[in-house]
Amino acid sequence: MKINIYYGGRGLMDDPSLFVINKMQEVLEELNVTVERFMLGEMKNNITTLPQTLKSADGIILATTVEWYGIGGYLQTFLDACWLYGDKEKISNIYMCPIVMSTTYGERDAKLDLAVAWEILGGKPCSGICGYIPDTAMLENNKSYIGIIEKKAENMYRTINQKVPSFPASNQAVNKTVAINKNINLTPQESEQLSQYAADESYVQTQKEDIRELASYFKGMLDRDENEDEKLAEAFRAHFKPQPGSKVSYKIMIEGKKTPLCININQKELECDFRDQEEGEVLISTDMDTLMEITQGRMTFQRAFMSAGNMKVKGDFKLLRMLDQLFVFMEE
């Protein structure tokens, strides 16, 4: 039999929880149980990898000391890692004994929090220990308290050895129906690998740098797109040749762009920019390469329309032909 102890306190000399788990470890080892202890405060950079250590355990002890409020950050981080990366099938067969000593108020609530958390993870609960111990000497000099601790260790051994069954808890049922883990379904091997990556600071920093580079790259692409749009609109403005009596609107849809190029002409007045516009007397659909060919004077609108598939037009075709008169890109 193997039992892991996960201690989430600060490790102070007079920590009452340390006294309790030391005494329980003595009793368990006398019963030929292999006990391995994990001091979470000393392993804070690797806590996300610790769910891997559950694989060889038949039971665990979650221990902490309430010095202010709740179970503390280290133990909470460990439980979070179990939720994200732990092998739930393995956890479902592991018994957990909560140990919570308090130097202030809240040991009962913290003990209940640990029990509920483990049940939501799918694990099996054991009867734990909690108490208000402002001074560790209260434990060291009280044989009755020491007897309680030893008895709890023996009960935990029997519970695991005999695989004592327990009634299903409602929080387990609720977890199956509403508390769905929204992460991608991973195999235990993939979860283990992911937890290793999450704990590798250099890997995490590399990923963050890659994300920054990608963000910069796509921002650059966006900036280039905006510059390209403005240059295209400016080309139309620069080559505008007003025609007497002309009053027309064009809407040019360009492949790969969400916003169309809208051209509105009223005599000598020209509006030309990329914006959302519902109506257009002539609706043109084309690609950027074709428009660049036109604005650089290597092709006309009429010729682009006549080419196979380069440009599609909906509306009055006379107005399409007028584009080559309104915007003269080819040098004479």
Q: Which string of DSSP letters, residue by residue, matches 197-230?
A: HHH-HHHHHHHHHHHHHHHHHHHHHHHHHHHHHH
Least confident of 6-10, 148-152, 310-314: 310-314
Q: Give the CB-side neighbour count of residue 65, counting CA atoms within 13 A.
A: 23
The CATH code of the domain at 2-183 is 3.40.50.360
Mean pLDDT, the chain, integer: 85
Establish whether domains 2-183 and 235-326 are of one fold.
no
- Whether the predicted pLDDT of 57 surpasses 90: yes
Q: Which of 288-293's residues contact partners 24+ apart within 8 Å by CB, and which partners?
A: 288/228, 288/254, 288/255, 288/256, 288/257, 291/232, 291/252, 291/254, 292/232
pLDDT (mean) for 51-74 = 92
pLDDT-derived band at 214, boundaries 50, 70, 90? confident
**Domain ranges across the chain:** 2-183, 235-326
Least confident of 37-46, 185-194, 197-206, 266-275: 185-194
235-326 is classed in which CATH architecture?
2-Layer Sandwich (3.30)
pLDDT-derived band at 130, boundaries 50, 70, 90? very high
pLDDT (mean) for 234-240 = 89
Least confident of 65-69, 72-76, 213-217, 268-272: 213-217
Put simply, whether the predicted model's pTM sits higher than 0.75 gets the answer no
- pLDDT tens, residue by residue, 152-166: 999 999 999 999 888
pLDDT-derived band at 11, boundaries 50, 70, 90? confident
Q: What SS3 state is found at 29?
A: helix
- Whether the predicted pLDDT of 183 surpasses 70: no
